[in-house]
Structure 1
Amino acid sequence: MKRLIFTSLFILFAFNLYAQTVPLTLNIEKINSDKGNILVGICATADEFAEKEPCKYFFSIPAKKGTITESVNVDKGRYAVLVYHDENSNNRLDMAMFGKPTERYGFSNNKYGAFGSKPPFDEAAINIDKPVNITIKLRK
C-alpha cells in the first residue's frame, strides 16, 4: 500500500513539474489606431514562425491606440513572437507591391530581417523558463 501511494505521488509530482506554465507578458507599442485587432503568434519552432504550421499559441486582442499589455501562460521553452495590427480584420497581414506590409507588425527581440522582413527564428527566439516581460514595437 505504501508503495502504491509513493508511486502515485511521484507520478502526480512528475506531471505537475512537466506541465508547468509561466506567464509571458507582452507590451505591444506603437499601435496607431483603435481599428481592428492585434494578432499574436507565439511560435515554438522555426516552421511555426515561418507560418508553415500554426503557432503553438495564437490569439487576438482588440486594438487600442498606443500600448497594449497582455499576459498569457505558456509552457516553459523557447519561442519567437510575431505580432501584427490587422486594421481591416481580415485575419492576415496585408502586403503592397514587392511584399512590403501595409499594416504594422513586429517580432520578439524587435529583430527584423533584410528590408524589414521576418528575421530567422533563432534571432527572434526568447527562452521562457520563468516569468518574462517583453516589449514589441510595431512598425510599418
Structure 2
Amino acid sequence: MKKILMIVVLFLAQFAMAQIDVKLSITNIKKMKGNLAIEFYRNVENYTKGQNAFKKLYVPIENIDKYETVFKNIEPTFYAVKVYLDVNNNKQLDKSFFGVRKEPYGFSTNADPILREPTFEEAKVEMTEENNTIAIKLNNNKGGE
C-alpha cells in the first residue's frame, strides 16, 4: 500500500510542477520579407549541433518591424534561443566563406561574436515565473539589408 501511495504522490507531483508561459519578442526586423526561424534549446549538446531543438518555429513574415509569440506551458529552466531571418528560403543561416553571417540573426542574450555563435553558456537565459520574457534584437550588420 505504501508503494502505491508513493507512486501516486510522485505521479501527482509531476503534474503539479509549475509551468510558465514564455513570451518571445523579436525586434529590428526592418520590414524585410522572409521566414523567421526560431529555435529554443535546453542543453549544450543540441544547441552546439543545432539539432533537436526543444521548440522550433518557421514563420513567414513580411513588412513588419517586430514579431511576438508566446510559448505556453514551458518548464521553468535555462534556455538558449537562436533566431535568423531566412531571406532566401533555404532553411539555413547563410554565411560567407569566412563564417560571417549574411542574413539577419539574433540570440537570446543578444550576444554577437563575429565569426562564431555564442556558446550555450553565453546565450542561455533562465526562465522563471518572474522572468518569462526573451527579447531579441536582430543583427542586420552582416548583410541581409
How many residue pairs match? The answer is: 137
Show the counterpart of 1:105: 105
Matches within 5 A, 1:109-120: 109-113=109-113, 115=114, 117-120=116-119
Structure richer in helix, relative to its length: 1
What 5-or-longer segments of structure 2 have no aligned partner?
Answer: 141-145
RMSD: 2.4
Runs of 4+ in 1 over 2 A off after TM superposition: 3-13
**Following the alignment from structure 1 to structure 2, what is the Cα–Cα distance between the partners of residues 36 and 119?**
24
Map of 1:136 onto structure 2: 136
TM-score by length of 1: 0.83
What per-residue deviation string (whole Å, max 9, x for no partner) do you get for residues 53-90 of structure 1?
32111112222420111111222211111100011221
TM-score, structure 2 length as denominator? 0.80
- Give the direction of change, closer, same or farther, for the CA distance of 1:96–1:116 in structure 2 (3 Å limit): closer
- Shift of residue 34 of structure 1? 4.3
Higher strand share: 1
The sequence identity of aligned pairs, in percent, is 26
What's the offset of the Cα at 1:116? 5.6
Matched-pair contact (CA < 8 Å) for 1:31–1:63: no
Match of 1:15 in 2: 14
